[in-house]
Amino acid sequence: MDCKNCNIEIDSKFCPDCGQPTYLKRIDKKYIIHEIEHVLHFERGILYTIRELATNPGQNIRKYLLENRSRLVKPIIFIIITSLIYTISNHLFHIEDGYVKYHEAKDEAPSAVSTIVKWVQDHYGYANIMMGIFIALWLKLFFRKYNYNFYEVLIMLCFVMGMGMLIFSVFVIIQGIIHYNIMTIAGIIGIAYCVWAIGQFYDKNNVANYIKGFFAYILGMITFWIFPVLIGTIIDLINKH
C-alpha cells in the first residue's frame, strides 16, 4: 500500500521515508487519556519542566538551546498552557487582574484603544508571546556580548514568562480562597523570578546581569503596552476624520 502522507510504497508498520504509521488507531477514551498523560508526564513533561525551571532555570534553558531539546516541554506550548491555567484560575475565582487596568466612562462608545487592551487582557497566551518580543529586544541590547540570537532569547523568555504565569496562578487561587488581595505580592514575586532566571541564563555569578535583566524586563513591559495604545490611538484619530 501507499503511505497516506507522502504516497511512497510501504510494506511495514511505518513509512521509511516520513515515519507516518501505516494504520492510525481510532481516537477513543484510551487515546485521550494517553494524550493527557503525555503532556503531564513527569519525565519530559510539564511537571518535569516546571520542576527544572523552578530549581535551575538558567542551566536547563541553556541545555535546551544547545544540547538536548527533548527533556523539556516545547516553549511555545509551555507558555500557552501556563497562560491558559492562569486565565482559567482568574475566571474561576472572578479576580479581575491584568497587566494593566484600563477603564472608560460608561457613557462613552468603546474606543480602539480599549478594544485592543481588552483583547490583550483576554488572551494572555498570545500577549505573553508578544510581550516576550519586546523584552527580547531589550535583552539583546543589554547583553550584546553574549552569543545568543534574538530567537534563542525569545525561547528563553517563553520558559521564564510561563513560570511567571504559574506563580500568578498560585496567588490567584490563594486569593480566591482567603478573599484577601495579594496580587501585588504575586507581581513582585513573579518579576523577581523572571529577573533571577534571566540573570542565571546569562551568567549567574555576575550581579550586573540581574540588574540589566530587571531593566530589560520592565522596559519590555512598558514598550509592549505603549505599542497597542499607540496603534489604538492612531485608529481612533483616523476614525474621527
Rounded Cα distance between 42 and 50, Å, is: 9
The pLDDT tens digits of the residues spanning 20-72 come to 777 777 788 887 877 776 666 544 578 889 999 999 999 999 999 998 888 88
Question: What pLDDT does 42 receive?
Answer: 47
- Per mean pLDDT, which range of 41-45, 97-101, 159-163 is the poorest? 97-101
Flag whether 150 is in a domain. Answer: yes
Tell me the C-alpha to C-alpha distance, in Å, between residue 17 and each of 1, 9, 20, 133. 14, 10, 8, 36
Structural domain range at position 169: 75-240
Please, are residues 48 and 71 in contact by the beta-carbon 8 Å criterion? yes
Flag whether 225 is in a domain. Answer: yes
Enter the pTM of the model. Answer: 0.77
How many domains is the chain built from?
A: 1
